[in-house]
Copies of this chain bind each other. A is one copy, B any other.
């Protein structure tokens, strides 16, 4: 291993001079020695020891990405939303000259431990951490950026999207296409997260149009015999013609089950998703969905983090990105004589 000392000896200077050069403090060192030292360092293949740096300077160029690990066998990175976000974040963080640690988190206690242990410069939270935010902020006096949080904690740096508006847009679109009897498919909502807001927006528009969703039209993720259930609600006197899912991956399940039981999309059942993952445009038929710009979200997250690292007294910011309708082929136009839109 090549150290500052090794280079210093070869160059006939002190290791401090080498340190200065390696850190790019060009004005503190004469141009001549600076260039000479740089050359020697290159020749010797010098690589600075990040641990030593971190130890001596009480700071590191390390960012931690924390992924909520809900459940042993559901790997967070199998969700395309998460992997897309993380991928873009990793890219951005590299551009900034920082390194990235990936942490799966089950218990709260693990978080502070890993952040402190490596003396990270900042952290990004991907998933639901709302319950621990206050404590997290108290225990870790470093920049923390949350995503998609609806925590009641006011002073929080967060990047999210307009989930409520997205729900509204989905409902508006269904109405515009003449649908009057709709259903909903997604995780059973217990928390105050993105799903809740998407539904609320969706329901609010329907209510304003005088349409209510009976509770049997709320189908839970993980429902057994989903296909049969779908067939059931699409039959009868007042059949459901469209279903709103809170995430594209839920829509994919609808596609699959619909195919299994012979329900055609969109002829027999229209489907709208949320996210616009890259798969959605490739589905048969292409999925109509509410698009969020995941890459933008990641780059905004990174920007915010860097800003907070460079100016530790930056005020808390909650950035809300817009959403838009990606109109494709999974919602059909219904001939509806009573259409008012």
Residues in chain A within 8 A of chain B (CB atoms): 1, 47-52, 54-55, 60, 65, 69, 75-78, 80, 83-84, 86-88, 90-91, 94, 99-104, 112-114, 116-119, 252-253, 255-256, 259, 265, 278-279, 281-286
Cβ-defined contact, B47 with A51, below 8 A: no
Q: Is the Cβ of B256 less than 8 Å from the Cβ of A286?
A: yes
Question: How many copies of this chain are found per oligomer?
Answer: 2
* Nearest CB of B to A22, in Å: 12
A338–B104 Cα distance when bound, in Å, is 56
A99: chain B residues within 8 A (beta carbon): 101, 103, 114, 118
Contacts of A77 in B (CB 8 A): 77, 83-84, 86-87, 90
A118 contacts B84, C-beta separation under 8 Å:
no
In the assembled complex, which residues on chain B have CB atoms less than 8 Å from the CB atom of A1?
116
Contact of B87 with A49 in the complex, beta carbons under 8 Å: no
What residues of B have a CB within 8 angstroms of the CB of A102 in the complex?
Answer: 65, 90, 100-102
Most chain B C-beta atoms within 10 Å of own C-beta, residue among A87, A90, A101, A112: A87
**Could you tell me the distance in whole angstroms from the C-beta of A79 to the nearest C-beta in chain B?**
9
Q: Given A55-B55, A256-B286, list of 13 further CB < 8 A pairs?
A: A1-B116, A47-B112, A50-B117, A75-B84, A75-B91, A80-B80, A83-B86, A91-B104, A100-B102, A255-B282, A255-B284, A279-B279, A284-B284
